Structure 1
Amino acid sequence: MRLSRRSFLYGAAALTLMPWVWQTAGGSLADSLRPWRALLIGINHYPQLVGVPPLGGCLTDVELVKNLLLDSWGLADSDITLLTEQAATLDAVQETLGVLEHAGQPLLVYFSGYGTLWQQQPALVFADATAAGEGILPLAELLRTKGVQVWLDTRFSPPPIEGEMLRWRFVPLQPVESRGTGQVPKDHLLWVDLGVETHLNGVPMGLFTASLSHYLAALGGDRPLATSLMYTADELRWQTGAEIHLVSDSLPENVPLSHGFDGVVQSTGHDRALQIWCGGLSPWLLAHCHPHSRWSTADGATVVDMVSFNGIMAQGVSGQPLQVGDRLYEQQRRLGKNLQLQVALDPKLSKIERVDAINALTNEENVAVLNGSESLPDVVLTRSATGGSYGLEWPVGTLLQHSCTGTNEAAKASIRRLNPLLNALLAQKWLTLTLNPTSSQVAVCTTLEQLSPTAKLLSRQSPPRSPNPLPEVLSTKLPATNLDTPLTLAKGDTCRWSLYNYGDRPLNIVAVAWDSSQGILLLPLQTQSWQLVVAPGLNIPLYTWTLNRPCQWLKVFIISSHRPLTRFSQLSSHPSHSEPLLISGEDSLALVLGLLGDLSSEPEGNEFCLDVREWCTQGFTLRVV
């Protein structure tokens, strides 16, 4: 008898989830062998909440999660119940929950919409909600449903800032005395205290759902669920600058996801035209991928030339006929060389200040001003309330340290002062676009460990799609990841990165760091060079760093390439000591662009063409206090 892929996933799900279902649902053995069911709720419009602006990304979120469940969890359409917009009333939700709970199957409830704090308790706001508190459901009540897991993309506290580029999913139905979120239950809950949506690649979506669905699809069952959650938390912290907290207590382990993928064929047309769901690639990356990027089937036999990208969807043309449901994998990534830093203006700036700021930024060739846009900017230009100088904020309102001065200054003078930082920010944006820890096929494993004051493993990354099996020596179990807070080290702590080349070709390695309080740093990997050639089979220490200054955010990029890094070498002088070297703004941008040229198979054209078989960029995000 031949089992279909979906039947196989059902069987695997039953075996791995049986203990969890038995404990939480109290069901019988027969019940625990039945497949998952899902209730997906998305609400943009709340007609009875006068003056409350509609949301825009909740239906996109529901579609993202639905595609994920169909293509990665192996659920069928009949296993998924959708309640969206005006169908998602409190009565309808409670009635549906009752039916699904009675069926005795493990249940996933996903909610995207407004949250609130009602009588100091977190609550979900449904389509028939009123200012008097009708149409809301306390989160604690939802979590009492037998056998339930709850995923939320909402917010239970007032937002840190107001702005045109972000829409927060919190509505105050009664006066809120503090910025607390009340007591948020943790059992069987997956939620991050962000609850914000914006436009990514032209499509509104919740940032948490966009990032979570990306990593769950890309990694699938190739890595533990905690790895996908770690990447999700790091990406959100890095892209927004927010010190978010991710709640993921008591989630079942060993969820039987299928192998990871980058895209799935959703429809086919004439001349082998394809409509592709790009769930396995970051929406931040998709916004910058150019046409003629190349994807392929898992065996590489059928190549797909990408024609266009729109949100999380793409159009492509395949070399051979493909079918709906076929999985696709990134092969070549094309990035246009006209990348700019997206800078928004703080809404609190006066009209005159906005005009002055726009005029000053217009002279910056690498900067694009987002004036009144709903897209997520890279940074926000603001003005210090105390000193009177201009400075830069992360999108959620956290000031970049040292970007403001203590003296009053005009916009033009501020932009001249900020020019090196703007160039360094663009350099780190380029580095971020080279990240490919899930799609790379390079056989490389990088480990981060703390040496002092106590020795312990912190993180380890290896591409799941390398054709070479991961050596047994790298199977050491890492300590449980604390997803609630960022990886944090103290000033004076010493850490070390190590690298294992378990492939059959030499690797050229460089390490570049972005320190949000300084800029781009080069890490010397040996006495006379910033790069290191690692022969096949070698497992070596890369760099030992005593962190001697606090830092809001520190991201270390470890870049491994089969291609020689000649441009990078020509643009960087020899190290004179073992400490990281700070590279000035324009020089850092030139250095990173030279590195992109080394990684590209077409360095002289208008685009960088990066082959996942030839390079791997791994990123480690931490803060130093």
Structure 2
Amino acid sequence: MGCLLAVLGWTEAEWLTLGNPYYQALAQPNSRKLALLVGINQYPSGLGLSGCLTDVELQRELLIHRFGFTASDILTLTEEQASREFIEAAILDHLGQQAKTDDVVFFHFSGYGTRVQLPGSPEAVENALIPVDYFDTQKSKFVNYLLTETLILLLRSLPTDKVTAVLDTSYYTSPELLSHGLGMRARPELTAVQLAPGEIEFLQQLKSQKLVTNNGLILSATSEPHQVAREFIFGNVSAGLFTYALTQYLWETTPATTIQVLLSHVGSSMYQFGNKQQPSFLSSKKNIQNSTIIDNFPFDKSSAEGVVTGIEDDGKIIQLFLGGIPPQVWEYYGVNSRFSLATGEQLVIKSRTGLTAKTQIVNPETNILPNIGQLVQETIRVLPRNINLTVALAPELERIERVDATSAFANISRIANVISTEPGVDYVFGKLPQTSSRYGLFSPANELIVNSAGEAGEAVKVAVQRLTPKLSTLLAAKLWRLTENEGSSRLPVKVSLEIVNNISPRIVLQRETWRNRRPDTTTNKAVSSQGTAIPTVPVGSRMVYRVQNLSDRSLYFILVGLNNSRSAIAFYPWQTRPETALSEAKPQLQEILIPPGQTLTLPQNDTISGWLLPSRPLLCEHQLIFSTSPFHTTLAALSTAKYSAAEPQPISSLINALEVAQAILEDIHNASEIQVDMNNAGADAYIFNVNNWASLNFSFQVV
């Protein structure tokens, strides 16, 4: 420690200013699982983020309750504690001095990133993390950044291969990247400053030591140099988009899952928030993408959606931390939703704030109270029926434009509602930056929704009317995404997305429910181009879904989805017409029923299986939904759409997407066999039982 302090130019008294709890944590020897979590919301000079401390909380709860970390072995540096010197010293001592071979080490950073020019070379520009003491006011020409290269060298020098780092930050920004409701974790490069000499000297010392490097895994919030890491607001919670998607998936996943499948799930979840940001990884280990995540994330307990964190009022109130609920679902997660304990007791939600919920035991007469740290699993999901899109008006709109837009949106309030504040919105109505007289719809990350821009000179009210069908489609997608429950469903199903060719099918993506899975089933798979999270498929490929019912009950199936033009599609299960039928006869739709233990290839007909992808690039997002009861209402809604009677296609455009989405939710509600009065939810809520439905998301790029 003395040598380290001398290198950093500190006195022991300065080190002790971290506080006794941190010093005591560093002094504990023989730790088997060590973590260092860094999060900075409040920077000097008015800079600030809102979700970094939530990220630290998300990671800490996950490490303790899912991966068996001891609280005293998790060192957190937040706000004013997160200086460059303290971060580097904590890596060297808390992680480096204590870690041994085969120990598990975890590092997390949430905060701003940037680019900085190295001295002596105008072309040498490096990525850097911005610590809380990034700017020296007495020597204003210097910035006290932590170079990403320094960080990686420090982590790679640790004496164990089981090192994982999560960097929820990015390094590039520009005025064109302004967002609506999604904060950017990047700051512009400062050209008139120099990197602090202390950081340069420290980096050179690390390089000169020629340290033996481990096979650690670095997970990054972005995959391209110009991508920006975002943080988002859902409900009243602000968090890093990458951190929330990552931790939520890790609550529910299984040890046999691979790194590539992990990134595929996280990337799909991030994409649903209207952001092109995609995660990536860096590792010196060969074929790391095919390694199972248990090598880096040591599962200590079974999968769950949350954990008991407190008991109040003599056991009448049980507090839960619910980090495992999918992000798109949590905002609408309703009172009266239920969770089960391993001992069989059920807890019903009475209120929630942030990611915590206050619950009550359903049958308190048992006099059995849960223990703090006990995991909980989703049993009943309650969602409101009156869900609409939330649309913000872009700040560049003039007053008269805002008045007209508000009036026009009031006429479609059953689909979209306008709010005055941007955080937490689904979409933004605004002007195209190139032509101020054109209006369009944007994602919260300021991405123009394809085919949403109007003609120059279009009136505001006309633009809103023109966008109404698209808003209806986007609301439909929002609704069917709320059914996602791959982690919590008790229906054992397995689905493979495959490319059909003349030799043998090639698996592109595989999803499987995790609860009640059979011991002989294999893990999820994802085949993807190196460096991409969402799997890729060549244009013009012929595709099939191979669907396996691993349960002891017959299951019904439906498929809906979106492509990147934001148009809806659906799988139409046409009934084969007899040869004697007239060509003008209207084709009929039939239920897709999968018997217990059986496998179906969909779509399938007498001549050729599968459907043909278009010859243009796009991103496909499919929601595959299973139920123990027929989709009567859904098929009736599908039947009302206009289609070609001559050559009906199995996967075709979905015109009445909102009607179909509402029908799907109604069918799952009817299948759930839950008495409404049991939850006191009434007619204003959907009630879903995890024993009666499964919903899997398949997202892939056509390139």
Structure 2 length-normalised TM? 0.77
Deviations 1:344-379 (A, max 9, x none): 22333333323322221122122122322322x222
2:385 aligns with one of 329, 337, 349: 337
CA distance in 1, matches of 2:523, 2:445: 38
Q: Measured at CA, do residues 396 and 111 of structure 1 come closer, stay the same or move farther in structure 2, by a change above 3 Å?
A: same
Q: Cα RMSD (Å) of the superposition?
A: 2.6
Structure 2 portions without partners, runs of 5+ = 1-28, 118-124, 193-212, 223-227, 363-367, 576-587, 604-609, 677-681
Provide the residue aligned with 1:5 in structure 2.
none
1:143 alignment partner, SS class = helix
CA distance in 1, matches of 2:623, 2:632: 18
Higher mean C-alpha deviation, range 260-269 or range 125-134? 125-134
CA distance in 2, matches of 1:476, 1:313: 30
Q: Measured at CA, do residues 343 and 550 of structure 1 come closer, stay the same or move farther in structure 2, by a change above 3 Å?
A: farther
C-alpha displacement of 1:478: 5.7
Q: Measured at CA, do residues 476 and 161 of structure 1 come closer, stay the same or move farther in structure 2, by a change above 3 Å?
A: closer
Mapped pair 1:257 → 2:299: yes
Mapped pair 1:42 → 2:39: yes
Give the partner amino acid of 1:458: V
Trace 1:217-236 onto structure 2 (pairs within 5 A). Answer: 217-221=251-255, 223-236=257-270
1:88 aligns with one of 77, 82, 86: 82
Provide the residue aligned with 2:594 in structure 1.
534
Aligned length: 577
2:237 aligns with one of 174, 187, 203: 203
C-alpha displacement of 1:480: 6.4
Provide the residue aligned with 1:438 in structure 2.
487
1:63 aligns with one of 57, 63, 71: 57
C-alpha displacement of 1:579: 4.2
CA distance in 1, matches of 2:563, 2:93: 52
Provide the residue aligned with 1:379 in structure 2.
427
2:513 alignment partner, SS class = coil
Mapped pair 1:108 → 2:106: yes
C-alpha displacement of 1:479: 4.4
Trace 1:581-592 onto structure 2 (pairs within 5 A). Answer: 581-584=652-655, 587-592=656-661
CA distance in 1, matches of 2:524, 2:67: 27
Trace 1:469-618 onto structure 2 (pairs within 5 A). Answer: 469=518, 471-472=520-521, 479=527, 482=530, 484-517=532-565, 519-527=567-575, 528-529=588-589, 531-543=591-603, 544-548=610-614, 550=616, 552-573=618-639, 576=645, 577-584=648-655, 587-600=656-669, 601=672, 605-618=683-696
CA distance in 2, matches of 1:476, 1:268: 37
Deviations 1:362-399 (A, max 9, x none): 22122122322322x22221223348332212221222
Give the partner amino acid of 2:32: P
Q: Measured at CA, do residues 518 and 225 of structure 1 come closer, stay the same or move farther in structure 2, by a change above 3 Å?
A: closer
2:31·2:98 contact (CA, 8 Å) conserved in 1? Answer: no
Higher mean C-alpha deviation, range 424-433 or range 521-530? 521-530
1:278·1:314 contact (CA, 8 Å) conserved in 2? Answer: yes
Give the partner amino acid of 2:50: G
CA distance in 2, matches of 1:43, 1:79: 20
Structure 1 portions without partners, runs of 5+ = 1-31, 177-184
C-alpha displacement of 1:483: 5.5
CA distance in 1, matches of 2:523, 2:324: 25
Deviations 1:15-38 (A, max 9, x none): xxxxxxxxxxxxxxxxx9961211
Higher mean C-alpha deviation, range 288-297 or range 162-171? 162-171
Give the partner amino acid of 1:172: P
CA distance in 1, matches of 2:480, 2:530: 26
Higher Cα Rg, which structure: 2
Q: Measured at CA, do residues 462 and 264 of structure 1 come closer, stay the same or move farther in structure 2, by a change above 3 Å?
A: same
Higher mean C-alpha deviation, range 219-228 or range 593-602? 219-228
Q: Measured at CA, do residues 164 and 548 of structure 1 come closer, stay the same or move farther in structure 2, by a change above 3 Å?
A: closer
2:242·2:279 contact (CA, 8 Å) conserved in 1? Answer: no
CA distance in 1, matches of 2:141, 2:166: 26
2:393·2:420 contact (CA, 8 Å) conserved in 1? Answer: yes
CA distance in 2, matches of 1:188, 1:269: 40
C-alpha displacement of 1:578: 2.2
Q: Measured at CA, do residues 79 and 33 of structure 1 come closer, stay the same or move farther in structure 2, by a change above 3 Å?
A: closer
Trace 1:10-49 onto structure 2 (pairs within 5 A). Answer: 35-47=32-44
2:639 alignment partner, SS class = coil
Fraction of identical pairs, as percent: 26
2:68 aligns with one of 71, 74, 78: 74
2:454·2:463 contact (CA, 8 Å) conserved in 1? Answer: no
1:551·1:623 contact (CA, 8 Å) conserved in 2? Answer: yes
C-alpha displacement of 1:407: 4.0
CA distance in 2, matches of 1:121, 1:236: 26
CA distance in 1, matches of 2:355, 2:622: 27
C-alpha displacement of 1:202: 0.4
2:35·2:73 contact (CA, 8 Å) conserved in 1? Answer: yes
Structure 1 length-normalised TM? 0.86
Give the partner amino acid of 1:154: T
